[in-house]
Structure 1
Amino acid sequence: MPINRAASTSVDVPRGLAGVVVTDTELGDVRGLEGFYHYRQYSAVDLATTRRFEDVWHLLVHGELPDEVRRAAFTASTARLRRLPDDVRAALPAIAAATGPSGPLAGLRTALSLLGASLGFRPVYDIDAERRRDDSLAAAAAVPTLLTALYRIGRGLEPVEPREDLGYAANYLYMLTGSEPDAARARAVEQYLISTIDHGFNASTFTARVIASTGADMAACLVGAVGALSGPLHGGAPSRALDTLDAIGTPDRIDAWIRARVLAGDRIMGFGHPVYRTEDPRSRMLRGMAQGFGGPLVDFAVEVERQVVAILAELKPGRELHTNVEFYAGVVMELCGLPREMFTPTFAAARVVGWSANILEQAQDSKIIRPAARYAGPPAPQPVPAAA
């Protein structure tokens, strides 16, 4: 018997849920037409240029920027959470060997599951707000340690134990390289991390909230978010944007190379965004940071941006296509000495804080996220054919 769609509660929405509001949030928003985004009531770019990473982490978790005393206490408490449980540390070589070329981000999924089990994470549905917050801080603090350890083990190097006297970004670089970073590069990476902590209901954040709506534990929610981030259309673009610069090679090849790709219908990595219809404010900030370092790579990237924007405006009139965060993020991370295979993991080291805050917020709502799909297959029901 056919379904009576008139009696259905389904509502048709745009593909990809574009523009569909699914809930209320106090964590922030992206205003694409203005080229502006914010964390709670503060401009995210202003926070990145004036505050420390731990300040913004505190803002998202506790709802306010800390004063000096609270900053010191929060920084110290989260720094103590960076060390991994012995059983998790012991399993990392096997995880790194199993994930191999897939890299630290693939290993992070398994490591996070193990971390959650080791720390006794329970379903967010079954625990109170304080325990949820504790779990979120423990998981987020451990992610940089997991990522850098997996990277180093995969290259035959010993993991570097975290230092509690270094800030989040400086400690991340220290664990990655084994050397304490200079202040300028540590601050540049910190500003990048702050600028990418959260960004509306992007695919990985929405994934985390969908899982949280089932009442699952913090690790399960974060594993799903990491899986979404790993996709090249989401978090995997910074290294690919640099690969584009490598493929172009020299300024005299920009025009022909870009035109050929656009006319072939290929996507130019680092350009265009599903929300922004003007310049991505993160890209603007990172461009300025890159130009502060200077050098041939920066000059070439700026020239590529200029020509790509002009060519896209010519060949795709009426569409506002500008650089997004991935384009200059790749340049900045390259200048700061991060290997390209760690670009997306570094993104995850920032975004885990935003995911955690969204999980905490979603856990306050007992309504499971359960959308519908329009069936487009053969009419049903039909007789089941007899077995041969």
Structure 2
Amino acid sequence: MAVVADAGIEVPRGLKGVVVTTTELGDVRGAEGFYHYRQYSAIELARTRTFEDAWFLFVRGRLPEAEERAPFAEELARLRVLPEELRPVLRSIAMAGERFAPLAGLRTALSLVGAARNLPPLWDSTPERRRADALLVGAVTPTILAALYRIREGKEPLEPRADLSAAANWLYLVTGCDPDPVRVAAIERYLTATIDHGFNASTFTARVIASSGADLVSAVTGAIGAFSGPLHGGAPDRALAALDEIGSPDHIDPWVRARIAAGDRIMGFGHAVYRTEDPRAVLLAEIAGELAEQADARGVALADFAGAVHRRVTEILAELKPGRELHVNVEFYAGVVMELCGIPRSMFTPTFTASRVIGWCANILEQSTDPRIIRPIARYTGPQPPQPVPFA
């Protein structure tokens, strides 16, 4: 149902399909099953370049020259180190609450980092300072997330290693083991493929906050809040939990049909933009197959079962919801890949966050050059005003 603003502009619910600004960072072409970072296919970048190369692209607007790659990686490695002002309170953040909430912890930790480092409002800072703040937030986020996880597990946080790439360092910080090259390659492609994805809810949230001139950390923490929702970034573990519930191939049909009959959403299927298979899911399905080749029997069984569920759910959705074009999305195979890489389920969404923060920061930097605040209006549908205020 559309609502009509006072200016007479017809706007669909959820701003679906509404162009709200321009961007040079990338776009999603849902009908084609294609998305890109600047002028490059995001999937091709994930297959052929490093995560750091893609990061450079978002920060500098171009891919690095050969001689620029090592200095950029060294700069990021220096920024990974946990800020001293955060260390005394990290344990309190990690242990807060009955259940581990890593994104809530990250919001708290980044807020402290921003305050301690005196991050100025975007409105008052120079482009050089904004880029420096963006690199700091992007580099330190994985370190914070991994430290929160290890503390919650009763382990000591690990110091990041300058000799490792971003993807390898993430695996090391979370698992405590020297990362296997096959797993590093898998996580690197995953991270690169999930940096940015159009004007999704978290990215739009970041840009709304940035449009007010607030500091970069405020915009990032707002994006994290939006991202934590199960309808957005918080679903990779739920998609894998669905595989656990199904249990075996002979239970696929009754499980799926029961969920659809109840009106439940099948996690890992359907997308707000794509009318084809999510290209990220296609890439991750390939990666899952590669990981299965060196996995133990349990890993092979997981990859095979995920493929069987993918095929059958697609068929049942086409049968029961004809014309809806409900295909597999990134969350379905993301959980499979991370499970095969040894990442605990509580860290699935944080892994997604470790890449998406780069895209948020790039969008924040781009938005900071626009002096106009984002200020839409809502259509009032409550009791007709003005009415007399009753006496107390």
TM-score scaled by structure 2?
Answer: 0.96
CA shift digits 1:366-385 (9 cap, x unpaired): 10001111101010110001
1:1-388 aligned within 5 A = 8-9=6-7, 11-294=9-292, 295-387=300-392
SS in 2 for 1:101: coil
Q: Does the Cα contact within 8 Å between 1:160 and 1:175 map onto a contact in 2?
A: yes
CA shift digits 1:109-149 (9 cap, x unpaired): 10010011122211011001110000000011000000000
Query: Following TM superposition, by how much is the alpha carbon of 1:6 offset from its aligned partner in structure 2, in angstroms?
Result: 10
How far apart, CA to CA, are the structure 1 residues paired with 2:5 and 2:119?
42
Q: Which amino acid aligns with 2:353?
A: A
Q: Does the Cα contact within 8 Å between 2:281 and 2:332 map onto a contact in 1?
A: yes
Query: Following TM superposition, by how much is the alpha carbon of 1:9 offset from its aligned partner in structure 2, in angstroms?
Result: 2.3
Query: Following TM superposition, by how much is the alpha carbon of 1:87 offset from its aligned partner in structure 2, in angstroms?
Result: 1.4
Q: Does the Cα contact within 8 Å between 2:76 and 2:139 map onto a contact in 1?
A: yes
Query: Following TM superposition, by how much is the alpha carbon of 1:297 offset from its aligned partner in structure 2, in angstroms?
Result: 0.5
- Which shifted more, 117-126 or 21-30? 117-126
Q: Does the Cα contact within 8 Å between 1:238 and 1:344 map onto a contact in 2?
A: yes
CA RMSD of aligned residues (A): 1.3
Q: Which amino acid aligns with 1:379?
A: Q
Structure 2 portions without partners, runs of 5+:
293-299
Q: Which amino acid aligns with 2:23?
A: T
How far apart, CA to CA, are the structure 2 residues paired with 1:316 and 1:187?
37
Q: Which amino acid aligns with 1:35?
A: G
Q: Does the Cα contact within 8 Å between 2:4 and 2:10 map onto a contact in 1?
A: no
How far apart, CA to CA, are the structure 2 residues paired with 1:334 and 1:377?
48
Total equivalences in the alignment? 383
SS in 2 for 1:38: strand
How far apart, CA to CA, are the structure 2 residues paired with 1:172 and 1:6?
47
TM-score scaled by structure 1?
Answer: 0.97
Report the identity percentage.
Answer: 64
How far apart, CA to CA, are the structure 1 residues paired with 2:318 and 2:324?
7
- Which shifted more, 329-338 or 175-184? 175-184
How far apart, CA to CA, are the structure 2 residues paired with 1:289 and 1:190?
11
Query: Following TM superposition, by how much is the alpha carbon of 1:102 offset from its aligned partner in structure 2, in angstroms?
Result: 3.7
Runs of 4+ in 1 over 6 A off after TM superposition: none
SS in 2 for 1:37: strand
How far apart, CA to CA, are the structure 1 residues paired with 2:6 and 2:346?
47
